[in-house]
Structures are given as C-alpha cells and as structure tokens.
A and B are shown apart, each in its own frame.
Chain A
C-alpha cells in the first residue's frame, strides 16, 4: 500500500512536470506542441549517449537533459512555430498547421532515436542510490528527488504564473494577444521564452522518469503527449491548478489499473479519460467555458 502510494507520487510528479510545460505553452501562445513528447524522449536519449560515455552522476545528467530540452524546444519554436504563427492570421488554421508541423518534428526525433537504438530501451550511467527507510518503507533518494522537484517546480510555476510580471504577461497574451501587445508585452520574445521553459521541464521530466524506471524506449515520448493532453483537458486548459489536479487523477487511475488488472490495459486509461472528459465536461474540471480567443 505504502509502496503503491510512493509510486503514485513519483508518477504524478513526472506527469506534472511534463504536462505543465505543455499546458502553459498551449494556454498562452495557443500552440499544442506534439513534439513536446519527442523533446522529453530526445533529452533523455542525449543524456543516455553522454552520461554512459562520460560516466556522469545524477546532477550533471539531469542538468544536461534540462538544457537539451530547452534547446530543442527553442529551435523547434524558431523553425516551425514562429513562421506558422506569422504566416497564418486565422487562429484555428494556425493551430492545426503547428500541430501537423510538430508531428513532423516529433517523427524526426523519434526516427533518429529508433534508428540509433534499434528501438531498444536506453538508460543512464548506473549510479549507486542510497536508500532511506521511513516508517518501514524503503525510499530511494532518486524517488525523493523526483517528488520534491515535481511538486516544488510545479508550485513555483503556479505561483509565478499568478504573481510575476512574466506570468501575468503570458496570461495576457493567452487571453488577448492584441491588447497585451498594446500594453507593451513583446509576444515574440515571450513565446520563445515560454517554449524554452516548457522544453526544460520536458527534459527534466525525461531525465527523472529514466532514472526512476532505469530505462525508457523511444516511443515513450508520444505516449506522454497523449497522457499530458488527457490531464490538461481533464483539469481545464490554461489553468495551472487544473494541470495539478488532472495529472493527479491520471496518476491515481493508472496506478489503480496497474494494481488491479494486468498491465496491458494501462495505456487505455489516458485514451478513455480523454474521451470521457471531452464528452461529459469539454472544458475540464476547473476550466471555464471561454477557451477560444477571438
């Protein structure tokens, strides 16, 4: 029981880090970046290549993945997102074109990793992880680190989105880009920055999940996008607390399915949640009806 609870918290933290970036980007610049999952996977893959060669420890590997994630996202931003947003005034058409272009980017990164690894699982250089015992439950320091980072970073982002100038400007362009620009918000720079932050979060999540599981496969990234999408629509788009709630429900549901059924059904949880939520409450648990910007 306590063991399941620990796994649940770890899963929640990783989902939260991943979905948070995707949600903030989607809620502010209106871009659903399918390549977010590929960024996640490819950061971990780069970490694998470098950490196994140089025998890096936990901290350098995690930092490396974080930087690679941020770099990939910013490159993707200037290669696909910015040109499409510039060329397509119609918001709905721009969303679709960015989604399609980002599926292309995701396919490229996936193909590179698949070809290089022959679709075999990959992990980081092995590290000796100290175990501590709390109330009869053995917890590895990695698990503690994941939970602390996941909850800490997410709460930090939530507070920043509410109070900092950066967060307010972001929510401003999410609500009304034109008025926000008139108020002195530099949309172009902000868009690149928010993509970079989201990429860093994806890279962080990729490193942490790889440490937790020992290894991941190249296809993990695409599945993460579907899961994060489920969590975001469940909580309600453009709402940080919604992401926190949505990823929690997803993690609980997946842990329950893993515990009480054969593991082969677990992938259906997020798909089922997507269908269910969109049918019953299309704007999510915490979302408001107004999502589309005019």
Chain B
C-alpha cells in the first residue's frame, strides 16, 4: 500500500492541488458568479508562501495560512470593487486581476525574483498534511451544497431575482463565494509552490485558466464531485496520453469545446442522466401499483433539492 502510494505520491499531490484549483473556479461558478479571481489568488498565494518561507523561514502550514489570508483579503477588496459586474464583464475583470498580478511580480525585483521567479522554497509539507487540508476544504464545499445553503446557492444561480424575492441575500451569497474562491485558489497556489519548491510569473497564465475550466467543465460544474472527477482525469490523462507528447493540449481544448457544446453539465451530469434513464425504464417495466412511476427511496424529493439530482443520486447503487 505504502509502496504504491510512494510511487504515486507526486501524482496524488498534483491531483490534490488541481482539485483545489478546480474548486476555486467552481465555488463562485456554482452561484452563477463567473469569476477567474481564483487564478490570480493562486499566484498571490504561491508568491506569499514562497516569500515568507524564503525570507522569514516560516513553517509550511503558517506560510499557507498567510497566503490564504492575503488572498482572502484581496478577495474581499475585489468582491467589493466588482460587485456591480456580472457575467462576461465579471469574468474578464477577474482575469485582469491575475494578469496585473503576473506583470507586477515579473517587475517585483529581488522580492519576487522578477521574470525568473523564486527558487528553493523548501518547507516541510507532507502528503498527509495536504490530504487533510484538501479533505477539510472538500467537506466544507460538500456541506455548502446541501440543505438551506445549497438551495440558496442554486437559486442565486438559476434566478437571482426570484432568489431575492424568496429572502435570499443575493449580494451576500455572491460576495461570499467570490472570497471563498479566492481563498481556495490561494491555498492551491501555496501548496503548489511549496511542493515544487519554486514559483514563476508564468505559473498562473492563460494555460492555468484553461486547465481549471477544463477540469470543472469536463467533470461537472455543479458539484464538488465534478471537480474531483475533473482533477483526477486531468492529472492522470497526461500520463496516459504521453505518446501524444505536446499534442495532448490539443486534446484538452477539443474536450473543453465538445463538453461545453454537447454536455454542459459534464461527466457527472451525463452519469446523472444515465441513472435517471435507467430508473425510468425500470419503473416502466414494473406493473403499475401504488406508488408506481416514482423512483424508490423518495428520489423525487431529493432531485428537487439538488437541482440536477446529481449530487443526491451518486452514491446510490447504479
């Protein structure tokens, strides 16, 4: 077991960072907030962690916390500044945040190492710690998808005016998800910087936006499980596609476009559809009786709560 884990531990770590990166985009997107601010935060968290480790010799966990805190603070500022923006405008403005940050750190002199970036960021951070941190984040995200919070988030996404009429504080939900996305992005950047022991201005450019989007769009943008599926696929797919060499980025692009056009809810959405289709045909074959036409175990109510019925139907025997 430990041997298998040891051989794959680099990959597992990479997958965990990818999962956090995907979540940083997905958390706001789930409420209809199209924010790429998590990518800028990824850079901010990475540089903050690298600088405090190099300059002040802070331990890894403290460095991560500082990166998350700073990302959160900047996230609060951004959310206040951008609160009037929506849709594409918000998307591009939040891309601009990462773009400006990349130029600033490339011109940051000795503090940020300029265009070369920073090297030798050595701090003690094991797979166990990373796993625990990521697990905590995932549990928090999963909890926010259920019950009252989950319904509020879905309502803000589907129909903000209706949500406001039902007593959901739309502005507050949008504020919180943007800041939360920034903090998770900062965490991902910090872990990555310490893991790879280096950070450079080119680390959080357009390719990171493509990777992050690819993971949540292919996996499914509505639940944390989609982010996990996406992160798993795009951590191991590069190895499976090694024969393709550099051409594998072409495959990623095709996947993003194809899934965005044909399967907007991602693989998780497709799985949910398949499950529902199987159930429907199963209940049609049974002779009509009391309660027929309804899926067993009250899946109908659960479907209503979860919007797509995806989050709830997973974990049931297929």
In chain A, what residue has the closest Cβ to B217? A100
Pick the interface stretch among A64-72, A111-119, A139-147.
Answer: A111-119
From B89, B93, B245, B257, A79 is in contact (CB under 8 Å) with B257
Q: A282 near B: Cβ within 8 Å?
A: yes
From A87, A108, A264, B257 is in contact (CB under 8 Å) with A108
Residues from chain A with Cβ under 8 Å of B257 in the complex: 79-80, 101-102, 104-105, 108
- Measured in the bound complex, the distance between the Cα atoms of B256 and A114 in whole Å is 18
Residue total for B at the interface (Cβ-Cβ under 8 A): 46
Q: B95 near A: Cβ within 8 Å?
A: yes
- Indicate if the CB atoms of A108 and B206 lie closer than 8 Å: no
- Measured in the bound complex, the distance between the Cα atoms of B214 and A105 in whole Å is 12
- Measured in the bound complex, the distance between the Cα atoms of B136 and A177 in whole Å is 47
Against B, the Cβ 8 Å flags (1 = close, 0 = not) of A260-275 are 0010110110111011
Main secondary structure of the interface of A (DSSP, over half): helix
In chain A, what residue has the closest Cβ to B86? A92
- Indicate if the CB atoms of A275 and B260 lie closer than 8 Å: no
- By size class, the interface of chain A is 35 or more
- Measured in the bound complex, the distance between the Cα atoms of B250 and A115 in whole Å is 9
- Indicate if the CB atoms of A112 and B100 lie closer than 8 Å: no
Q: Which of B81, B102, B213, B256 has most A Cβ within 10 Å?
A: B256
Mark out the residues of chain A between 95 and 145 whose CB falls within 8 Å of any chain B CB in the assembled complex.
Answer: 95-112, 114-115
Q: A279 near B: Cβ within 8 Å?
A: yes
- Measured in the bound complex, the distance between the Cα atoms of B217 and A265 in whole Å is 33
- Indicate if the CB atoms of A226 and B103 lie closer than 8 Å: no
In chain B, what residue has the closest Cβ to A90? B158
- Indicate if the CB atoms of A95 and B84 lie closer than 8 Å: no
- Indicate if the CB atoms of A105 and B85 lie closer than 8 Å: no
Q: A251 near B: Cβ within 8 Å?
A: no
In chain B, what residue has the closest Cβ to A100? B260
Q: A60 near B: Cβ within 8 Å?
A: no
Nearest chain B CB to A49 CB, angstrom units: 17
Q: B137 near A: Cβ within 8 Å?
A: no
- Indicate if the CB atoms of B92 and A96 lie closer than 8 Å: no
- Indicate if the CB atoms of A104 and B107 lie closer than 8 Å: no
- Indicate if the CB atoms of B103 and A267 lie closer than 8 Å: yes
- Measured in the bound complex, the distance between the Cα atoms of B245 and A266 in whole Å is 33
Q: Which of B82, B87, B217 has most A Cβ within 10 Å?
A: B87
In chain A, what residue has the closest Cβ to B157? A93
Q: A278 near B: Cβ within 8 Å?
A: yes
- Indicate if the CB atoms of A278 and B89 lie closer than 8 Å: yes
Q: A233 near B: Cβ within 8 Å?
A: yes
Nearest chain B CB to A142 CB, angstrom units: 29
Nearest chain A CB to B162 CB, angstrom units: 13
Nearest chain B CB to A230 CB, angstrom units: 8
In chain B, what residue has the closest Cβ to A32? B88
In chain A, what residue has the closest Cβ to B97? A275
Q: A83 near B: Cβ within 8 Å?
A: yes
- Measured in the bound complex, the distance between the Cα atoms of B97 and A226 in whole Å is 12
Q: A84 near B: Cβ within 8 Å?
A: yes
Q: A229 near B: Cβ within 8 Å?
A: yes
- Indicate if the CB atoms of B100 and A104 lie closer than 8 Å: no
Residues from chain A with Cβ under 8 Å of B99 in the complex: 226, 267-268, 270-271
Q: B104 near A: Cβ within 8 Å?
A: yes
- Indicate if the CB atoms of A264 and B87 lie closer than 8 Å: no
Q: A222 near B: Cβ within 8 Å?
A: yes
- Indicate if the CB atoms of B247 and A115 lie closer than 8 Å: yes
Nearest chain A CB to B246 CB, angstrom units: 4
Known: A96-B87, A219-B206, A229-B92. A275 touches B256 (CB 8 A): no
> A101-B256, A226-B96, A271-B99 known; 19 other A-B pairs, CB under 8 Å?
A83-B261, A84-B260, A92-B32, A92-B86, A97-B264, A104-B257, A111-B247, A115-B246, A219-B206, A233-B89, A264-B106, A264-B107, A265-B107, A267-B102, A268-B99, A270-B96, A278-B82, A278-B89, A282-B84
13 A-B residue pairs with CB within 8 Å: A100-B256, A103-B210, A104-B214, A107-B249, A108-B257, A109-B253, A111-B252, A115-B250, A219-B206, A233-B89, A268-B104, A275-B81, A279-B81
